[in-house]
Amino acid sequence: MKKDELKQKCLDVIDAYRDQIIALGQDTYRTPELGYKEFRTTDRVVQAFRQNGLEPETEIAYTGCKVSSPKKGGPRVAVMGELDCVVCAEHPDCAANGNVHACGHHVQLANMFGCAMGIMKSGVLNELGGSVDFIAIPSEECVDYDYRNGLIADGKIQFYGGKQEYLRRGGLDDVDMILQCHMMEMEDKKKRCTIDTDCNGFVTKTVRFIGQASHAGFAPHNGINALNMAELALNNIHALRETFQEKDKVRVSAVITEGGGLVNVVPEVVCMQIMVRAFNIPGMLDASAKVNRALKAGALAIGGKVEIQDQIGYLPMKTDRKLSHLYRSNMVQYGGADEDSFVELYETAGSTDLGDMSQLMPCMHIWTDGITGGLHTKDYRLDDPEEAYILPAKMMAMTIIDLLYEDAKEAKDILAEFVPAFTKESYLEFMKEHSKVELFDGSAI
């Protein structure tokens, strides 16, 4: 069968499933869950597949599920939709705990499901030279450190990010490339989507300043003030900012999660969470080392201790240009776009765990429209169900057909040109090497 005939069959099936696709997205929106807590969300995706005769593999990365086409020779393409939400208590649709899908992940799941229906129910796989996985993946938003540290301590996970965890468990051992769409309002209203994205990676830090409690009124001299250590450390970090190079796009974000107890007691323990972002791996590691020095200097000045738990969060992302171009071509041919409808490259200091995957295999990360308002804000809204839920499902399905048609010629060409920065084994070793706990005792100097 000709490729355009296969594509039309697939498009017709996705149109037939339109109501189910939108319903999945809307139902998911009503039950937002943070990473590695997406039990109801996973179950909703599982039920959507089962209602259509597809039996998913479950608990793939603590939560999450996957449907796969039958294995055969040729490349395997994965389509991912993310399960988790963010917290934005100001959003009118948030749950009582502040959870809300102001990230667009509910739309991603609908895109993934719609693409699966198009590919799996149309019969086009019989004409293609490869296989496809449809994966509902957990925990893209790197938040809720204490909960995830608890899961790590209990041996239930090893990584904050769901894609990292799934990779570690062997779930991506047979996958050759990954397709994913995300939603973002286009600043230029003439644009329909963003084709390629390069973004920052980051190191996470869980920090405990340890001092000594004492009465803040009549015996402060007997105390060692952990809050003062933290304040000095923050000022030290601010003083470092001029040392960061522009090309590295360094961002250092910090919050104090525990600032002391009673106002009349010298704070004994103060806790912080810090995210150190940069556009490349050397920049990440350099900035992380400088921040650690700043934290230690705060403890040293007051004569206390600081415990620094470092963990690589996500690595920088660089999407595969040839892979993304296929989506672009389909937008022109089937999505009503013209040659001026695209932002060709978006460079951002944001981060995603798809960045880790892009260090190992070709990855596509399209930003598409259909929503309004800033990501993770109270203004984030679905604007156009057709543009958000349906069109990306179609375009990813068309891209899969392009990749796997004619014995997967396009996919094989892309794989032949791709140069990975890591193997799975070297990646896991790198992550282990840069995940550690250090206790610095400033009182001993």
**Among the listed residues 401, 369, 400, the one whose alpha carbon sits nearest the alpha carbon of residue 181:** 369
**Rounded distance between C-alpha atoms, residue 326 and residue 401, angstroms:** 10
> Which amino acid is residue 79, in one-letter code?
V
Residue 375, both tokens: 């990501």
The pLDDT score that the predictor gives to residue 444 is 85
Mark out the alpha helices in 192-271 (DSSP H runs). Answer: 226-240
What is the residue whose two structure tokens read 């799934």?
166
pLDDT at 285 over 90: yes
SS3 368: strand
**Rounded distance between C-alpha atoms, residue 311 and residue 285, angstroms:** 11
Q: Which residues contact 432 (CB under 8 A, 6 or more apart)?
A: none
**Rounded distance between C-alpha atoms, residue 41 and residue 332, angstroms:** 33
| Architecture, CATH, for domain 201-314 | 2-Layer Sandwich (3.30)
| Architecture, CATH, for domain 3-199+316-421 | 3-Layer(aba) Sandwich (3.40)
* pLDDT class of 270 with cuts at 50, 70, 90: very high
What is the residue whose two structure tokens read 């892309």?
414
CA 240 vs. chain centroid, Å, equals 28
Mark out the alpha helices in 32-161 (DSSP H runs). Answer: 39-50, 105-121, 145-153
The pLDDT score that the predictor gives to residue 72 is 86
How much is the mean pLDDT over the chain?
97
Locate CATH 3.40.630.10 in the chain.
3-199+316-421
What mean pLDDT is predicted for residues 286-309? Answer: 98
The pLDDT score that the predictor gives to residue 146 is 87
The pLDDT score that the predictor gives to residue 71 is 87
Distances in whole angstroms, Cα of residue 434 to Cα of each of 168, 266, 269, 311, 431: 16, 34, 25, 6, 5
* pLDDT class of 334 with cuts at 50, 70, 90: very high
Query: What is the maximum alpha-carbon separation in the chain?
Result: 87
